[in-house]
Amino acid sequence: MPATKFICPDDQRVDIADCLRSCPNQQRCMFLPTLRAVANSLDRNLSEPTVTELISGTRETFLKKTTDYAVEPASILYALHGQAVHSINEQHTQGDILSEERLKDEITSGQLDLFGKILDGDDGVLGDLKVTSSFKLMKALGIYKTKIDIGEVYKSGVKKGLPKFRTELRFDGVRDLLDWAIQLNAYRMLLERVGFKVNRMFIQALCRDSGLRIAAERGITKPVYIIPVNKISDRWLTRYFQHKAKILREAIATKTLPPICSVRERWGNRKCLGYCAARENCPHAQKLVKEATDDELAA
């Protein structure tokens, strides 16, 4: 089911339909059309799970599909930015490029962004559009920071006698883009299932904080990056999606809460604490929130 409530700036919770009909406050927190767009983007149903839903933690997807939850409209704005980028590209495919096509198989379904001659003369290029942060881009490009001993020591203060270091960027790290690669490879398999030949895959990542100092400090100096994606084994992908889909279907059918999302899926608990929309309905997330609150009170 969709999210049912908006969280107002004053933490008041109001039914989305009531908010759109008449704001309970003196002035809306956003323009009405923006709030309508946010509400429209939150729709969930109990049909076959999509590729993106299966890549997410199974518990997170289950809670979003089966429980009422509330969201802050502002937290959805970046997703709307992504939808706008998709819409702009779709309007300029001119009929010779596949765009926003939804394909499905017996396990899942997915809506690919672009396929065709999108980079050069190769008509077998599959592309995916992302609007993301410089932090995510830094990880995806294999950029990392390291400390270099400059051969000096502190001569006073609490660090007296300790060596001095400077921080430098390195660009030869492991690229951390597994979720993006799984998603794009899933679309590749869906395309190949209906007879298309995918030769290469790329992410076009638009950096939403490009131009800010924090982005430059992370080695992100351009507003957009083209990132190649390697092929993942079809056998591995099939087993991965079959496993995730089976657990989700069984949980929905029996109305049983699935196991806790993996450490990677919950971003080492960071997602549970502030980014999962359904965290208020998750016992694990609520336990973490309570522990964090208790720690703050004890400090």
Q: Is residue 205 part of a domain?
A: yes
Q: For residues 135 and 149, is the Cβ–Cβ distance under 8 A? A: no
Q: Is residue 136 part of a domain?
A: yes
Asked whether residue 112 carries a pLDDT value surpassing 60, the answer given is yes
Q: Is residue 250 part of a domain?
A: no
Q: How many CA atoms lie within 13 A of 19 on its CB side?
A: 28
Query: For residue 143, what are the domain limits?
Result: 78-235
Residue with tokens 């799970």: 49
pTM recorded for the entire structure = 0.90
* Structural domains counted in the chain: 1
Q: How many CA atoms lie within 13 A of 5 on its CB side?
A: 14
Alpha helix ranges (H) inside the chain: 16-21, 32-41, 51-55, 58-66, 77-90, 134-140, 178-193, 213-217, 234-254, 270-274, 283-298
Q: Is residue 87 part of a domain?
A: yes
Q: Is residue 55 part of a domain?
A: no
- 118-149 pLDDT, tens digit per residue, is 999 999 999 999 999 999 999 999 999 999 99
The pLDDT, as a whole number, for residue 82 is: 86
Nearest to 6 by CA among 68, 96, 65: 68
Q: How many CA atoms lie within 13 A of 245 on its CB side?
A: 17
Q: Is residue 118 part of a domain?
A: yes
- 166-193 pLDDT, tens digit per residue, is 999 999 999 999 999 999 999 999 999 9
- 26-85 pLDDT, tens digit per residue, is 899 999 999 999 998 886 565 778 999 999 999 999 999 999 999 999 988 888 888 888
